[in-house]
Structure 1
């Protein structure tokens, strides 16, 4: 019996099991025949990874403006945004130089004096806003992972450019059925030109998602306890894993310094107070989480940049190897939080500092 003679509901289950990666690996696998394509395309769109270049290509294709299997099929969405970099830079690994900038030349409506970086930022955030519309309509979407950073400048004191629009990101996080959220953001947020706001503060939007999340992993340049405050009064949550990584270190060539996350808005209190406040709110949140529970806060110590994971539930601190996942168990090194001397790196020059 031919595979394609099976009932449609059976074929749908089979292609779901085949998964997206099978088709991403070779797009020719989509085109066996017309009937095959009808079942393969939704499987292809089930799990999608966008860079700023591939997202721009999708928007330019017009897919967003018409009925698309992306809306009906999308379950896992990954965004990998590396920022604007020049193609001809010899200071970065070749793999980044080839991917980092789609603006090879000014567009037809760009004046000669226009800043190409500003143009890139505007186009990217317009594309993110359109992607947010698709995400909000995708009822099967349960996993969102966003990595946004700029490959560091040769000048070690340079800060990464804040290129994410806060309204666009808030819209992208306005999802109803999200179960897994991973944000790894070493760049900050800003308002688009001509718009005004009271502050670039995305933590409350993340707190709103706690009512549906099962897993939350966060590393952000600016953070505060609001990110761990649910916005509803339910007695319990489905949430079982929370990891807040406050270390902005990266295993990248040439990086010899790093800093920790800063508090949103005012800098009052410093790093130690921020960690204490985050720990206190994590303890409150843990009382409403579903067992088994994992609640961790990651920092790094100086001068060796060792990653240390504080288990909020037990008070133990573990040392993590560079290749370990944020929520893995490392070697226990102490029963209490970090000594002050290991965390006071605010005066340390860093490519990820927002000074």
Structure 2
């Protein structure tokens, strides 16, 4: 399935049905009175977050979504039926904004969360509503109210705990394949990854986290160069960034330190908040470096980069060093989740009850 993370749609709720002017026409009832019913409500347009979706491709070629209008009122005190509602499904993590002003209207972060995109118009009143002691035969009615109409932009930001960052061909896809259930395309040429890939990493029973791999960045990405700038938004909701470095490039003239600095610079230009996220260095492809030379190579790299944060030495191909990395990531994500949870308010009466000694412990 093609990955689409941006779409524009037009939604239109149904108009309300018109009220009816009608009078009773029954035998032996000369003055039957009014019996025109109200019009029905127009259909609403709802949006629901579906955990089974991971792309907005359904909206790429289906732009307009319109609910049914309400049925008109009828005689014999019959009210019109409400218009049929329309329910649209989007992936969890979708942002809905006004297409004209750019203002963010909604953000769906909870599975099965439902919002009302456009409300249907109320139905008009029939002449039954206008009957009174001084107006026995009203001929008034009102028209149905129009439904809401909106032009919206849908933008998907995937929900992942960890994001992979790095140059093309740094081994990000190989790493996500080694540690998770994701199976992205892997080849020996740059720009193999053309869209984000999500994988679930199982650490133990009921212990897991989600990792995201985006297309590789190149220098100038913040100005639109390459493909990675199109998907940097998917890293904005992550708790941790893993900066994957190719420590054994095919071209001897390529300097891993210069590449690492270029990525950090592009990250800062794109979004300061994204730059400030916790970021770890993952030095990859060390299986292609002689064991006797690894320590000196890593030490020289860290010194030249002036890196103060965590450093992990791995080989995604042979999975060497991957297990310690996974365990460290899980501990970090677990700590972040606990810190984000709101404190639980405890009734002070329960504290007093715990401090009260049991009867057998009292000194009577």
Question: TM exceeds 0.5?
Answer: no
More strand by share: 2
TM score, norm. by length of structure 2? 0.28
Taking structure 1 as the reference length, the TM-score comes to 0.28
Structure with the bigger RCO (C-alpha within 8 Å, sep 6+) is 2
Structure of greater Rg: 2
